[in-house]
Structure 1
Amino acid sequence: MAATEVVQSRRIVTEIPGPKSRAIQKRRSSAVAQGVGSVLPVYVERAGGGIVEDIDGNSLIDFGSGIAVTNVGNADPRVVERAAEQLARFTHTCFMVNPYEAYVDVCEALNRVTPGDHEKRSILLNSGAEAVENAVKIARSATGRQAVVVFDHAYHGRTNLTMGLTAKNMPYKHGFGPFAGEIHRMPMAYAYRWPTGPDNCGPEAAAAAIDQIVKQVGTENVAAMVIEPIQGEGGFIEPAPGFLPALVEFCRANGIVFVADEVQTGFARTGDMFACDHEGIVPDLITTAKGIAGGLPLAAVTGRAELMDAVHGGGLGGTYGGNPAACAAALAALEAIESDDLTGRAREIGELMLDRLNAFADKFDVVGDVRGRGAMVAIELVKDGKEPNPEAVAQVLKHCHARGLILLSAGTYGNVIRMLPPLVIGDELLREGLDILEEALAGL
């Protein structure tokens, strides 16, 4: 049965995880490094639409999309067909040795769809962390400066440099230092937790960040400012209005490269092709990955031609960057997003989910905040006012997983439940998943 034939209904026939998954989990413990975790160790047989089927025959509702990867759905037929055709022709040559047209096609597509109508260039890589790291390399090369500005609650990856850029210690940074130098962290416009209230958050946070940069770093030393237009692992923090435009203006005035990390927010996830589009932000460089290729590993940096071309020949690249099968998949995924209007579908998903989640906030004191855009939404769980409540998150996830709903946590304090359904999920599955979430909240 092809992925497109996966029945779009939840079906639980064993406990979760089931006996076959538990048997493989036992094998895993003696074969796979313990440092690799799994949110829900059900071993997957196939997936499609809004459903993930495990090897025990259970069908789970997918509110995770492999962490915002399968935006076009798992095993989209167009992605599968294009990738399979490419695999039959050749699997690898290394673009730096013998190039191929699909790499150029993907770069042309990225130059077209990313924010701004200026002349652009792109490079293709393997992962979001690699894209962010290369964006910093490009900014440093182009500006001749070294310092990098990042923000509270940020997540940018697991390489040495991107761990340094990432804010959260556990589990991402703990025990892995020392990290790269010349990284400077600034306040984030976290409206729910801003001391003087959400209405003041955007202007005040921008002013605080700019003041610290000027006084503590020196604008003449800053190569790049790297920020997620909506923070992902940090808890789906949507910057308060005005924050991002003020930062862009500051960067433009001071020769600082503004880098938008859209690894999680890109490719229709937020109801726009990119989250920057919401406030009309045009970054100098934009990093993408996750949803770029329908589930195959691919990432990119796209940016102003004069910046991208400032690096010396041979200074950018990698053996697998822009793998031909992944390039074919990316072209098919972009075609699916545009032809099926998945940006519009993301907005529909957001309206449905936010209506229900706001109702939960009215009904349950534990829901302190509801936030997000499109099919990237979250609730923050609290106790005694705004004190983070990670214990409640753990209870909710345990209930939902047992009932066949894949959910993820997030947040610096571990107290956020994030929802990232595939953009092809049906409304009935969305409602059923939210019903399960409501049951869990009611049981706290």
Structure 2
Amino acid sequence: MKPLHLERCLRTVEADKAVLCSAARVPYYPLVVKKARGSWVEDADGNRYIDFLASAAAVNVGHCHPRVVEAVREQAEAFMSYTAVYMYHEPLVCLSEALCRITPGNFPKRVIYGLSGSDANDGAIKLARWTTGRSKIVAFQRSYHGSTYGALSLSSLSLPMRRRMGPFLPEVYHFPYPDTFRPPFSGTDEEIADYHLDLIRRAFADYIPGEEVAAVIIEPIQGDAGILVPPVSFMKGLRSLCNDHGILLIAEEVQQGFGRTGKWFGIEHFGIVPDAVILGKALGSGLPLSAIVAREDLMADWDAPAHCFTHAGNAVCCAAAYASVQVIEEEGLIARSEEMGNYLMERFRALQDSYPLIGDVRGKGLSIGVDLVKDGKTRERHGEAAAKICYQAWQKGLLLSFFSGSVLRIQPPLVITREEADRALEIIEEAMRDFLAGRISDEVLKTVKGW
């Protein structure tokens, strides 16, 4: 393996440490991005990498897609932003019409914008409380919704993320999310689903009056918990439970939206329709933009300035987002995501036969979790393996990360080719062999913090 030349990268990393707050960084390796195209990234020293992270699932159409770049250029030359709080512009209307069309539900909808998935989660809480007149919110353990106070209040994944920053928003109640790989008992998916639904039913009967709950906010596929896909019966049962109590069901699609899972949105895998959808990340194709798309009746009389931001829905971001929607549709990237996702999962499951280190392979489309374990029976997480394998993969030319302590995060741009995917798989297998042979130093653990 040819060593990476990292002179400029390392200088930049040291300069970064001197001026940037560590609270905003989860480091994996000293990569300093200089250029990115499609499924490739080039660092400041000219090293090139296949991208299996897609900037945290935020560039689904690939880095610097020509259609998106042209849309940004044209809009930036016209005007970059004039606050949509006071004035109007066409890119905002074009994008809003597209979002109302592609999000689930055959009913009139409205859209409201922000700058990140975090603020969209805050907005969903505000909207639910406003429109229902109720205060309580149901969320799920090991969920991650962002780092603003509302999003942090919904999240239940990382103790450091919440330490010494409370109190958080009141009346947010967390319930276990169905994990069929590490379930609370041995049973069928349906039995596990009903067990988790019954925890909510009993809470509504005993100490959280269902008629006081404004919304259930859920990632239909939990992302940072390790790509957990719940049983279909759980999601259908949750929809029924919400209907029974007049509770809004809000799908948090920040990570899994825009074709990532082989459908426009993750909730579509379960055959149910939410009352609202929370969007971010890939919406702006790398530019800061978020949105809530909800039933028209929920937003019709929501008073300003309940969710206003000076630069929310700015013209350049809207132009990029609208171009991204067009690219996904015209290039068939949703079908491509499903096809490539099935291919990658088959390849990883074949590796599982040779490497017991791989405890589980799960996901939908190009949102895949490869769960590394110390023991196949106990399913104890293998965080050291995940950290070392990701670091070694980077040194061999692949950007790979992990979350949930032990789960390799496989979320490449939807435009990735079969050849690029095959090479990435070769690198991952090489890194696994290096780990099992003890060829990766413990020194890398000082660099790789992970998530």
- TM-score norm. by structure 1 comes to 0.94
Q: Matches of 1:248 and 1:214 in 2, distance apart?
A: 17
Task: Describe how 1:53-202 pairs up with structure 2 within 5 A.
Answer: 53-194=42-183, 195-199=185-189, 200-202=191-193
After TM superposition, give the deviation of residue 90 of structure 1 in Å.
Answer: 1.1
After TM superposition, give the deviation of residue 107 of structure 1 in Å.
Answer: 1.1
Which of residues 11, 15, 18 is equivalent to 1:27?
A: 15
- C-alpha distance after superposition, 1:360-392 (max 9, x if no partner): 222222211110010000111112321121111
Q: Matches of 2:397 and 2:165 in 1, distance apart?
A: 35
- C-alpha distance after superposition, 1:49-69 (max 9, x if no partner): 111011111110100000111
Partner of 2:282: 291
Q: Matches of 2:392 and 2:170 in 1, distance apart?
A: 42
Q: Matches of 1:95 and 1:312 in 2, distance apart?
A: 15
Which of residues 397, 413, 424 is equivalent to 1:433?
A: 424
SS at match of 1:191: coil
Structure 1, gaps ≥5 residues long = 1-11
- C-alpha distance after superposition, 1:149-169 (max 9, x if no partner): 001110111011211111123
Task: Describe how 1:196-235 pairs up with structure 2 within 5 A.
Answer: 196-199=186-189, 200-235=191-226
Which of residues 390, 393, 400 is equivalent to 1:397?
A: 390
- C-alpha distance after superposition, 1:85-130 (max 9, x if no partner): 1111111110012211211111111110000111111111100011
Partner of 1:326: 317
Q: In the alignment, is the contact (CA less than 8 A) between 1:189 and 1:206 conserved in 2?
A: no
Structure 2, gaps ≥5 residues long = 437-451
After TM superposition, give the deviation of residue 14 of structure 1 in Å.
Answer: 4.8
Partner of 2:354: 363
Q: In the alignment, is the contact (CA less than 8 A) between 2:125 and 2:150 conserved in 1?
A: no
After TM superposition, give the deviation of residue 438 of structure 1 in Å.
Answer: 1.3
Aligned residue pair count:
430
Q: Matches of 2:65 and 2:204 in 1, distance apart?
A: 45
SS at match of 2:22: coil
SS at match of 1:217: coil
Q: In the alignment, is the contact (CA less than 8 A) between 1:94 and 1:323 conserved in 2?
A: yes
> 2:391 corresponds to which letter in structure 1?
K
SS at match of 1:303: strand
Q: Matches of 1:39 and 1:107 in 2, distance apart?
A: 36
SS at match of 1:192: coil
After TM superposition, give the deviation of residue 313 of structure 1 in Å.
Answer: 3.6
Partner of 1:383: 374
Q: Does 1:407 align with 2:400?
A: yes
SS at match of 2:322: helix
> Measured at CA, do residues 102 and 389 of structure 1 come closer, stay the same or move farther in structure 2, by a change above 3 Å?
same
> 2:359 corresponds to which letter in structure 1?
G
Q: Matches of 2:250 and 2:179 in 1, distance apart?
A: 19
Q: Matches of 1:422 and 1:213 in 2, distance apart?
A: 41
Moved more, 96-105 or 254-263: 96-105
Q: Does 1:304 align with 2:295?
A: yes
Partner of 1:3: none
After TM superposition, give the deviation of residue 241 of structure 1 in Å.
Answer: 2.5
After TM superposition, give the deviation of residue 36 of structure 1 in Å.
Answer: 2.6
> 1:420 corresponds to which letter in structure 2?
Q
SS at match of 2:385: helix
Q: Matches of 1:262 and 1:43 in 2, distance apart?
A: 28
SS at match of 2:217: strand
After TM superposition, give the deviation of residue 142 of structure 1 in Å.
Answer: 0.5
Q: Matches of 2:278 and 2:364 in 1, distance apart?
A: 19
Q: Matches of 2:230 and 2:433 in 1, distance apart?
A: 30
> Measured at CA, do residues 374 and 104 of structure 1 come closer, stay the same or move farther in structure 2, by a change above 3 Å?
same
- C-alpha distance after superposition, 1:312-363 (max 9, x if no partner): 2432321111011000001100000000010011011111110111112222
Q: Matches of 1:217 and 1:203 in 2, distance apart?
A: 19
Q: Matches of 1:253 and 1:336 in 2, distance apart?
A: 39
Q: In the alignment, is the contact (CA less than 8 A) between 2:29 and 2:391 conserved in 1?
A: no
Q: In the alignment, is the contact (CA less than 8 A) between 2:3 and 2:395 conserved in 1?
A: no
> 1:394 corresponds to which letter in structure 2?
A
- TM-score norm. by structure 2 comes to 0.93
SS at match of 1:388: coil
Partner of 1:339: 330
> Measured at CA, do residues 316 and 416 of structure 1 come closer, stay the same or move farther in structure 2, by a change above 3 Å?
same
What is the root-mean-square deviation in Å for CA atoms of aligned residues? 1.4
Q: Matches of 1:268 and 1:49 in 2, distance apart?
A: 16
> 1:26 corresponds to which letter in structure 2?
E
Q: Matches of 2:383 and 2:207 in 1, distance apart?
A: 34
Q: Matches of 1:395 and 1:13 in 2, distance apart?
A: 18
> 2:12 corresponds to which letter in structure 1?
I
Partner of 1:271: 262
Q: Matches of 2:325 and 2:292 in 1, distance apart?
A: 16
Q: In the alignment, is the contact (CA less than 8 A) between 1:154 and 1:231 conserved in 2?
A: yes
After TM superposition, give the deviation of residue 35 of structure 1 in Å.
Answer: 2.2
> 1:251 corresponds to which letter in structure 2?
C
After TM superposition, give the deviation of residue 13 of structure 1 in Å.
Answer: 6.5
> 2:411 corresponds to which letter in structure 1?
L
Q: Matches of 2:201 and 2:326 in 1, distance apart?
A: 40
Q: In the alignment, is the contact (CA less than 8 A) between 1:125 and 1:322 conserved in 2?
A: yes
